[in-house]
Chains A and B, each alone.
Chain A
Amino acid sequence: MRTRAANRLLAGLAWFALVAGLAGPVQAHPHLLITVETTVLYDKGAFIGLRHRWTFDEMNSAAETEGLDTNKDGKYDRAELQPLADLYVQRLKAASYFTYPKLAGQPLQFGAAKDQWVEYKDNAVILNFTTLFASPVLIEAKGLTFSVSDPSYYIAFSMSESPQAVKFGEGTPAGCAWKVEAPESPQASALQESFSALGGFGIGVPKTIAVECKGP
C-alpha cells in the first residue's frame, strides 16, 4: 500500500511540476524591435570592421527621445541626440553590441564602438556606430560571417528587407558579395522553418550573413 501511495505521490508531483514548469519555458518577450542594416568596411585588401545602422520601432523611438528636444525647435538635432548615442554604445559594450562576427567558425575579436551618432528620421531613432575588427581580414580569407541578435529576445533584431540590408564600404572589389547563410544544423533549420511558417516577420533564428570575394 505504501509503495503504491508513494508512486501516486510521485506521479502527482511530476504532473504538478510539469504544469508549474509550463509557466516557465516561454521566455520570449521582445520590448524593442530593431531593424538592422550593416556595411562591411574595406581598406587596403581587407575587411576591417562593420558599420551598423539600427532603426528602432516607433514606440521605443518616441519613448527614447521624449524630452530631448532641448532647444524646443520641434525637431531632434544630432547634437541633442548625441547623449543618447553615447549612452547606447556604452551599454552595448557589455553585450558585445549583439554582434557576432566569425572567421571560419571562430569568433572574431573586435574593438569598442566608435563614431556613434543618432538621427531621428520618419519618427524613428536610428543608431549609427562602427566596430572595427581587432585585426583586418584579408578579402581572400574564406568563411567570414556575422550576425546581429539578442539570444534573450528582449530585443527582436531583424534584418532590413531592403536589398541594401548589407552593403560594402568604399573601395571594396566588385567580386565581393554577401548572402544569407543556410542554418548550420538541421535543428536550427527546422526551427527556422517553424518560424517562417508562422508568417515570417524576419525574427526567429538570427540570420547569419556570409561574405565572400571572387576574382583575381
Chain B
Amino acid sequence: MMAFPAVRLFALVVAVVLFALPALAQQQQGPGRNTFGIGASPAAETAKPASPPGLFTRMSAWVTEKQVMAHRELSGAVRRFRSSDPISAALFLAMISFAYGVLHAVGPGHGKAVISSYVLADGRTMRRGVFLSFLAAGIQALSALVLVAVLMLALRATGMQIRAMEAWLETISWGLVALVGAWLVYYQLRGMLASAGAAPHSAGGHDHHHDHAHGHGHGHHHGDACEVCAHLPAPSELQGDLSWRRAFAIAFAVGIRPCTGAILVLVFAIGQGLWWAGVLSTLAMAVGTAITVSALAALAVGSRELAKRLAGSGSSKWADRVQLVAGLGGASLVLLLGTLFFVGSLSGLGGI
C-alpha cells in the first residue's frame, strides 16, 4: 500500500508547526511586561493580532475576557471580608481565585510548556505529570508567600522592589529550567547512543530504556500487554532515584518563580489589613493553576502513548521511534525554552 505523499507532508508540517507553538506563545509576552512591574520578557516585538480569527484566536479571546473578569473580581472579593460574613466571603474568594488560577495557567509563565515537554521527554506517566504539576504550583505559591512576607513585612520594601525581585526569580527560574533541559538532552542522547550500540531488536538489546528512566516496559518488549502497564508506575520507576531527582528539579525550577497574580493579591490584601485573605487566595490560585497544567501534561502523555500505539501495533521499531522523537523533542524544548527566556529575561532586568 503506497502512502499519500501529500498527506504525509501535511502531517509533518502540522507536527513541526504545532511543536513550535508553545515556544511561540511564550514569546508573546510582549513589551507590556517590561513596562510595568515585572521586568523579564524577551525583547521580541510582537506583531499586531493575526487577522483571521481562527479557533485559537477565538479561544484566546474568550480566555482573555474571562481573565479580565476574574482579575476585576479578585480585589472586590478580598474587600468583601469587611462587609459580609467570613465564611461566605472566604468561599467566594476561594472560588474566584481558583478560577483565576485555572484561567491564568492557560497563558504563559506557569510552566505548562516546560512541564508538558518534560513529561513527554522523560517517558513519564500521567500520574507523574499530574503530581509534577501540583508540586510546581505548590512551590510557586510558597515562593509568592515567602517573597511577599520577607520583602514587604520584614524588610518594608516598596511594591516596585518586590516586583524587581520577582523579575530576578523569573530569571533564575528560566536558568534552572535550561539546566534541567540540558540534563534531559544529555540523557536522551546517551540513551540513543546506547541503543545504537546494541543489537537492534534482540530481546536483550534494550538497556537504554532503563538508562533514561522510562524502564516501565513500553509495548516494544511484550507486545499488547504493555499498553496497560504503560500507565502504571512500575517498581523500577518508583525506585528510580534519579528520575525523582529530575522531577523535583524541574518542579523547583518552574515553581521558584512566583505567580504575578498571587503577588498582586497578597500585596493588596496586606494593604487592606487582610493578609490571611491573601494567603487563602494564593493557595486557591495554586490549585487552579495545577489543574490546568495537569490537564495539559496529561494530554501530552496521552497523545504520546496514542502516537506510539498508532505507530506501533505492527512494528515495535516505530513505537521506539515515536518515543525517541518525543524524548529528544521534549528535552530540546525544555532546553530551548529555558535558554530563550533566561536570555530574554536578562535584557528585561536592565530597567530596574
Report chain A residues within 8 Å CB of B41: 154
B303 on the interface (CB 8 Å rule)? yes
**Which of A5, A19, A185 contacts B315, CB < 8 Å?**
A5
**Which of A8, A29, A95, A188 contacts B318, CB < 8 Å?**
A8
Report chain A residues within 8 Å CB of B22: 20-21, 23-24
Could you tell me if B36 and A60 are in contact, using CB atoms closer than 8 angstroms?
Answer: yes
Could you tell me if A204 and B64 are in contact, using CB atoms closer than 8 angstroms?
Answer: yes
In whole Å, how far is A113's beta carbon from the nearest beta carbon of chain B?
12
Interface positions, chain B 295-329, Cβ under 8 Å from A, are 296, 299-300, 302-304, 306-311, 313-315, 317-318, 321-322, 325-326
Complex Cα gap A23–B24 (Å) = 11
CB-nearest residue of chain B to A7: B3
Could you tell me if A152 and B31 are in contact, using CB atoms closer than 8 angstroms?
Answer: yes
Interface positions, chain A 12-31, Cβ under 8 Å from B, are 12-31
User: Residue-by-residue, is B264-308 near A (CB-CB < 8 Å gives 1, otherwise 0)?
Assistant: 110110010000000000000000000000001001101110111
Could you tell me if A64 and B37 are in contact, using CB atoms closer than 8 angstroms?
Answer: yes
B240 on the interface (CB 8 Å rule)? no
Could you tell me if A152 and B28 are in contact, using CB atoms closer than 8 angstroms?
Answer: yes
Interface positions, chain B 114-163, Cβ under 8 Å from A, are 116-117, 120, 152, 156-163
CB-nearest residue of chain A to B51: A187
Interface range on chain B (Cβ under 8 Å from partner): 35 or more
Could you tell me if B318 and A195 are in contact, using CB atoms closer than 8 angstroms?
Answer: no
Report chain A residues within 8 Å CB of B29: 29, 152, 154
Could you tell me if B326 and A60 are in contact, using CB atoms closer than 8 angstroms?
Answer: no
Could you tell me if B32 and A152 are in contact, using CB atoms closer than 8 angstroms?
Answer: yes
User: Residue-by-residue, is A127-142 near B (CB-CB < 8 Å gives 1, otherwise 0)?
Assistant: 0000000000000000
In whole Å, how far is A64's beta carbon from the nearest beta carbon of chain B?
5
In whole Å, how far is B58's beta carbon from the nearest beta carbon of chain A?
5
What is the interface size of chain A, counting residues whose CB is below 8 A from a CB of the partner? 73
User: Residue-by-residue, is A177-216 near B (CB-CB < 8 Å gives 1, otherwise 0)?
Assistant: 0000000010110110011001101011100000000000
Could you tell me if A155 and B32 are in contact, using CB atoms closer than 8 angstroms?
Answer: yes
In whole Å, how far is B66's beta carbon from the nearest beta carbon of chain A?
8
Report chain A residues within 8 Å CB of B106: 26, 28-29
Could you tell me if A19 and B300 are in contact, using CB atoms closer than 8 angstroms?
Answer: yes
Could you tell me if A18 and B300 are in contact, using CB atoms closer than 8 angstroms?
Answer: no
Could you tell me if A152 and B1 are in contact, using CB atoms closer than 8 angstroms?
Answer: no
In whole Å, how far is B4's beta carbon from the nearest beta carbon of chain A?
8
B171 on the interface (CB 8 Å rule)? no
Complex Cα gap A168–B201 (Å) = 78
CB-nearest residue of chain A to B264: A59
Could you tell me if A154 and B58 are in contact, using CB atoms closer than 8 angstroms?
Answer: no
Complex Cα gap A187–B10 (Å) = 25
Complex Cα gap A200–B300 (Å) = 33
A5-B314, A10-B7, A191-B57 known, 8 other contacts, Cβ within 8 Å: A5-B318, A8-B314, A20-B22, A24-B26, A57-B71, A67-B159, A68-B159, A201-B72
Which residues of B come within 8 Å of A, CB atoms? 1-3, 7-8, 10-12, 14-19, 21-26, 28-38, 41, 46-49, 51-53, 56-65, 67-69, 71-72, 74-75, 104, 106-109, 112-113, 116-117, 120, 152, 156-163, 260-261, 263-265, 267-268, 271, 296, 299-300, 302-304, 306-311, 313-315, 317-318, 321-322, 325-326, 351
Q: Can you give 14 contacting A-B residue pairs, CB < 8 Å?
A: A10-B7, A20-B21, A23-B300, A29-B29, A62-B159, A84-B160, A87-B160, A94-B35, A95-B31, A194-B61, A195-B61, A201-B65, A203-B68, A204-B65
